[in-house]
Amino acid sequence: MTLDYRDIVFPEDSEFLVTGGAGFIGSNLCEALLLMGYRVRCLDDLSTGKIQNIEPFMKKTGFQFIKGDIKTFSVCDEACKNVDFVLHQAAWGSVPRSIDLPVFYAENNIIGTVNMLEAARKNHVRKFVYASSSSVYGDEPSLPKKEGIEGKRLSPYAVTKFVNEEYAEQYTKHYGLDTYGLRYFNVFGRRQNPDGAYAAVIPRFIKSLLCNEIPTINGDGMQSRDFTYIDNVIQANLLACKASSEFAGDVYNIAFGGREYLNDLFDTLCKLLGKDVAAHHGPARKGDIRHSNADISRAKECLGYEPEYDFSRGIRESINWYKENL
């Protein structure tokens, strides 16, 4: 059984705030909610998000863009006024970049999130759904990854996401704010940036192959990932907004529940794109988890999560998008 997120219904006058709304995941959330007929407020400082991602929405009725920084509480407070649901995606990602910039990551990802939690509490937001990460599992070796069985975090980025979960739980416990943490597992799909030193693996590989370049695989390529198509993530965010308060203050794995090795990913992309090339192998990245595969039973049971897209279907959708948009 799968679930189309378009079938999830809210009151007609619902207003959503999407932080990081000009980014990859945030812009997809904005687009989905606008197409479903809801009002959307997008908060982004454009430090990693791109104005091009939201330009198509700028003239739409019910869309508002606020250029602002979540590190400034007054910005968060103003953005939360008269909002029903907060989908907090704003953060700086990338494990290796966090190792280079630990202080900034603490300020942006932790202080920024606490500002958003406080603003949501102050403005009586109904549900606060926030992006966490599979990186929280750290060096815990068991598979599949299950909430409550975490190891030592391997990067400053992972630490910021773990601390966010702790703060969110406190806001549910002490202030009655319904918070739901979504531990994303390697999300991919349309609008994911293929460029730069910190680009995610799938868009980077696709762009390289489309441009007849040879991509580099970090390490031996035997790392495994539970790649999760963007539409599954949209579904999870909307379901969390509908979830019972009894499930607030907790975290949920959001993935498909599959497992793909990077070498196999590369071979699949070569096959789908009609390329006959061998990848280069470079050094392994510091702070990377070796294997990642999710147990999604808690999200299914508590949120009603039923991912619609498996890896095979999602990768085909992604290739088609990059062919048309690169």
Q: What positions carry a catalytic annotation?
A: 157
SS3 content of the chain, % helix, strand, coil (to 5): 45, 15, 40
**CA pair distance 214, 12, nearest whole angstrom:** 49
**Max CA separation in the chain (angstroms):** 58
Cis peptide bond prior to 144, omega within 30° of 0: yes
**CA pair distance 252, 134, nearest whole angstrom:** 10
**CA pair distance 239, 5, nearest whole angstrom:** 8
Give the sign of the dihedral formed by CA 76, CA 116, CA 50, CA 163.
positive
Distance of CA 103 to the CA centre of its chain: 22
Cβ neighbours of residue 258 closer than 8 Å, sequence gap 6 or more:
226, 227, 293, 310, 311
- Helices 311-325, 230-242: axis angle to 10 degrees equals 110
Whether the CB-CB separation of 303 and 247 falls below 8 Å is answered with yes
Q: What is the DSSP string of 247-304?
A: GTTEEEEES-S--EEHHHHHHHHHHHHT-----EEEPPPTT--SB--B--HHHHHHH-
Per DSSP, what are the bridge partners of residue 40?
16, 63
Whether the CB-CB separation of 2 and 306 falls below 8 Å is answered with yes
DSSP letter for 171, please: H
Q: Rg of the chain over CA atoms, in angstroms?
A: 19
Whether the CB-CB separation of 29 and 12 falls below 8 Å is answered with no
